[in-house]
C-alpha cells in the first residue's frame, strides 16, 4: 500500500501492543480502567527545558481510532489472534479521558506531558502513536526554539525538507519549527496544510542556467520585483555576486521605486562576507537590502557569527534543525501510573529500576506551575496526587525529590494547573488553538523562564517537585518492593 492517505494510523503501533491487548482481553483486563503518563527523562542537548508539541495530530488520531475490515483480515492472516478478539477489534474505539499540557508549553523531565485514563486495551494500543507524535514534534520545536533565541530577534526560516527523514518528518517538522519560533518554511505543503508561511527564491541552478550571473539576476528580479532575493555565491560573492546584484537592483528596482530586496549567501566565511557585502550595499545606497544566510547552521554557529560582527538579517536553517542533528532523539516514554478498581479506588503503580532516573512517579497526578506574582517568572513545577489542591494564597515549602533536604519556601505566587482536559469519555472537549496562537503562547511561556534556565551551556536546573503526599506514596511503594 503506497498511498499515505490510505493508511489507517490505528495500525501504526508496535506489534506487542496487539499481543498485549489480546492478552488483556483473554484475561478480563481489557476494560479495566488504567492511568498512563507520557513524559521524558532528559532534555535534548542537555538544555534547561523542552517545548511540548504534537497534540493536534494526537487528537486527529484518537478521533479516527478504528480497525478496518482490511486490518482485521490482515490480523486474521497472522494466525495468532482469536476470532473473539478480532470481533472485539471490529468495534474498537477510544472511550477514555486524556489530559495534556498545551502545545508550545515549556516542559521539564519526569513530569506528565500527557495523561491517559482509559480501559487498559485502549490506553495500551495508543502508546506508539502518542510517543512518536510528541517525541518528534517536541524535539524539533525544542531545537527551533534554541535556534530562534540564538538569532536574537532576526528572522529564522526552516529550510530542511530535503534532509528530513521522510515526508511526514518534513511536513510536521516545519509545523513544529514554527511553534518553536521560526518565521516560515521552505516546505510548501506545510503552508497548504497548516498555514506555516512558505517562501523561497532561487537555487544555484537558476544562476547556472543563464549565460551570465547578471542575466540570471535580472530575469529573476524582473519576474519578482517585490520579492527579489538573489543568491550571490554561485561564482564569487564579493567580486561578482554582490556587484551584479547591485547593478540589477539599480536597473530594475530603482526605476520602480522599490527599495525592498535581498541577497543570500550559502557558503564561505559568513562573518567576513556579510560584513563586506553590507558595506558594499550601503555604499551603493541599498541600505534596506536584507542579507540572508544558510549552510548547515545551528544555534551555536549563529551565536558565534553574530558575536563576531556578522551583518545578517535572516537565517535559513536546514538539516541541523529538521533532524535535530546534535541530538536526534527526544526520549519520551509512556508508563502505567495507576489502575482503578471497580469501586473507583485508584491504586498507584510504580516502575522500579536500578537506574534511579528510570524510577517513575506513581499515581494519577496533577501538574502545577508556580509563577512569581512580582516577576511573572516560573519558579518551579509541582506534582500532586489528583485529589490535592494548591492554595496559592498560602506560602508553601517545596523540596527536591532527589535530595529531600533541599527545600524552598514559595510565597507571593500564582499556581497554574498545566494539563488541560482534551478528551472526556472519548469525546473531544478541547478547542484546538490556531498555529499562530500556539506559537505566540510558546514565546510568552519561554519568556516566563529565567535566563539561567535558557542558557545553551550548563543551564540552571528547573525543579519539578513532588507534594509530600505524593512523595510518601512513592517512598512507600519503594519500601514495599525492597528498595
**Domains of the chain by range and CATH?**
4-140+328-480 (3.20.140.10), 203-290 (3.20.20.70)
Q: Which three cell numbers stand for residue 88?
A: 472485539
187: left (phi over 0), alpha (psi -120 to 50) or beta: beta
Residue 483: per-residue pLDDT: 59
pLDDT score, position 338 = 98
Tens of pLDDT, residue by residue over 320-342, are: 999 999 999 999 999 999 999 99
Q: What is the pLDDT of residue 95?
A: 98
Query: Does residue 2 carry a pLDDT above 50?
Result: no
Question: Residues 125, 159: contact at Cβ < 8 Å?
Answer: no
pLDDT of residue 354: 83
Q: How far apart are CA 158 and CA 179, in angstroms?
A: 11
Q: Which three cell numbers stand for residue 380?
A: 518551579
- Distance of alpha carbon 342 from alpha carbon 360, whole angstroms: 24
Q: How far apart are CA 101 and CA 118, in angstroms?
A: 18
Q: How far apart are the first and last CA of the chain?
A: 50
Instruction: Report which of residues 171 and 403 the model is more confident about.
Output: 171
CA distance 226 to 171: 27
pLDDT at site 355? 84
Mean pLDDT of 400-414: 92
Compute the 3-state secondary structure of the chain and give helix, strand, coil in percent, each to the nearest 5: 40, 20, 35
Tell whether the model's pLDDT for residue 317 goes beyond 70: yes
pLDDT tens profile 438-461: 999 999 999 999 999 999 999 999
Q: Judge whether 371 and 414 are in contact, CB under 8 Å.
A: yes
Burial of 242 (0-12, 13-18, 19+ CB in 10 A): buried
**At 131, which helix (H) or strand (E)?**
helix 127-151
State the DSSP H helix or E strand holding residue 168, giving kind and residue range, or none if neither: helix 167-180
The mean pLDDT value of the chain amounts to 96
| pTM of full prediction above 0.85 | yes
464 grid coordinates? 519539578
Half-sphere CA count of 477, side-chain side, radius 13 A: 19
CB 322 within 8 A of CB 334: no
Grid cell of 28 as nine digits: 478480563
pLDDT in tens, 181-210: 999 999 999 999 999 999 998 999 999 999
CA dihedral 56→58→61→63, nearest 10 degrees, is -70
pLDDT (0 to 100) of residue 119: 98
Which whole number is the average pLDDT over 33-56? 97
Short-list 173, 192, 219, CA closest to 323: 173
Mean pLDDT of 455-471: 96
- For the chain, what percent of residues have pLDDT higher than 90? 95
Spatial distance between the Cα atoms of 329 and 77, rounded to a whole number of angstroms: 34
- 188's enclosing H/E stretch is helix 188-194
Q: Is the pLDDT of residue 5 over 70?
A: no
The predicted-structure confidence for 100-159, as pLDDT tens digits, reads as follows 999 999 999 999 999 999 999 999 999 999 999 999 999 999 999 999 999 999 999 999
Q: Does the pLDDT of residue 38 top 80, yes or no? A: yes
pLDDT higher than threshold 50 for residue 1: no
Instruction: Render the burial of 204-237: b for 16+ CB within 10 Å, e for the rest.
Output: eebbeeeeebbebbbebbeeeeeebbbbbbbeeb
pLDDT at 481: 81
Tell me what the mean pLDDT of segment 171-178 comes to. Answer: 98
Q: Are 458 and 373 in contact (CB under 8 A)?
A: no
Phi, psi angles (nearest 5°) of residue 405:
-75, -15
Contacts of 172 (CB under 8 A, 6+ apart): 54, 57, 136, 137, 140
Amino acid at each position: 500500500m503506497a498511498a499515505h492517505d490510505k493508511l489507517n494510523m490505528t495500525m501504526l503501533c508496535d506489534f506487542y501492543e496487539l499481543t498485549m491487548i489480546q492478552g488483556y482481553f483473554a484475561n478480563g483486563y481489557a476494560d479495566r480502567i488504567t492511568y498512563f503518563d507520557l513524559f521524558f527523562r532528559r532534555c535534548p542537548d542537555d538544555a534547561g527545558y523542552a517545548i511540548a508539541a504534537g497534540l493536534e495530530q494526537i487528537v486527529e488520531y484518537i478521533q479516527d481510532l478504528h480497525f478496518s475490515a482490511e486490518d482485521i483480515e490482515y490480523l486474521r492472516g497472522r494466525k495468532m489472534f482469536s476470532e473473539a478478539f478480532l470481533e472485539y477489534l471490529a468495534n474498537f474505539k477510544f472511550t477514555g479521558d486524556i489530559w495534556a499540557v498545551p502545545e508550545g508549553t515549556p516542559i521539564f523531565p519526569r513530569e506528565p506531558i500527557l495523561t491517559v485514563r482509559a480501559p487498559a486495551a485502549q490506553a495500551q494500543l495508543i502508546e506508539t502513536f502518542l510517543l512518536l507524535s510528541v517525541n518528534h514534534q517536541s524535539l524539533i520545536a525544542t531545537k527551533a526554539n534554541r535556534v530562534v533565541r540564538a538569532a536574537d530577534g532576526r528572522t529564522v526560516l526552516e529550510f530542511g525538507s530535503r534532509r528530513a527523514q521522510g515526508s511526514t518528518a518534513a511536513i510536521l517538522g516545519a509545523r513544529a519549527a514554527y511553534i518553536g519560533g521560526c518565521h516560515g518554511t521552505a516546505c510548501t505543503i506545510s503552508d497548504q496544510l497548516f498555514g506555516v508561511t512558505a517562501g523561497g527564491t532561487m537555487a544555484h541552478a537558476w544562476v547556472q542556467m543563464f549565460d551570465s550571473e547578471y542575466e540570471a539576476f535580472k530575469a529573476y528580479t524582473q519576474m519578482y520585483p517585490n520579492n527579489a532575493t538573489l543568491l550571490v555565491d554561485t561564482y564569487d560573492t564579493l567580486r561578482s555576486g554582490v556587484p551584479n546584484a547591485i547593478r540589477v537592483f539599480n536597473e530594475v528596482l530603482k526605476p520602480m521605486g522599490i527599495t525592498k530586496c535581498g541577497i543570500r549567501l550559502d557558503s564561505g566565511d559568513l562573518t567576513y562576507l556579510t560584513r563586506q557585502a553590507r558595506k558594499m550595499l550601503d555604499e551603493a545606497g541599498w541600505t534596506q537590502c536584507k542579507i540572508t544566510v544558510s549552510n548547515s547552521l545551528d544555534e551555536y554557529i549563529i551565536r558565534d557569527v553574530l558575536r563576531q560582527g556578522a551583518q545578517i538579517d535572516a537565517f535559513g536553517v536546514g538539516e541541523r534543525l529538521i533532524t535535530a542533528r546534535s541530538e536526534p532523539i527526544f526520549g519520551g516514554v509512556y508508563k502505567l501510573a495507576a489502575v482503578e478498581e471497580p469501586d473507583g479506588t485508584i491504586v498507584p503503580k510504580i516502575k522500579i529500576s536500578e537506574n534511579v532516573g528510570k524510577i517513575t512517579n506513581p499515581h494519577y497526578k496533577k501538574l502545577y506551575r508556580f509563577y512569581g506574582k512580582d516577576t511573572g517568572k516560573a519558579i518551579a513545577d509541582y506534582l500532586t496526587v489528583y485529589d490535592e489542591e494548591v492554595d496559592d494564597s498560602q506560602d508553601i515549602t517545596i523540596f527536591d525529590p532527589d535530595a529531600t533536604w533541599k527545600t524552598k519556601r514559595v510565597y507571593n505566587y500564582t499556581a497554574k494547573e498545566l494539563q488541560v482536559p482534551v478528551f472526556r469519555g472519548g469525546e473531544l472537549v478541547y478547542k484546538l488553538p490556531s498555529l499562530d496562537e500556539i506559537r505566540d503562547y510558546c514565546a510568552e511561556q519561554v519568556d516566563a523562564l529565567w535566563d539561567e534556565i535558557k542558557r545553551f551551556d550548563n543551564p540552571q536546573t528547573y525543579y519539578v517537585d513532588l507534594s509530600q503526599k505524593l512523595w510518601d506514596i512513592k517512598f512507600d511503594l519503594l519500601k514495599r518492593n525492597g528498595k
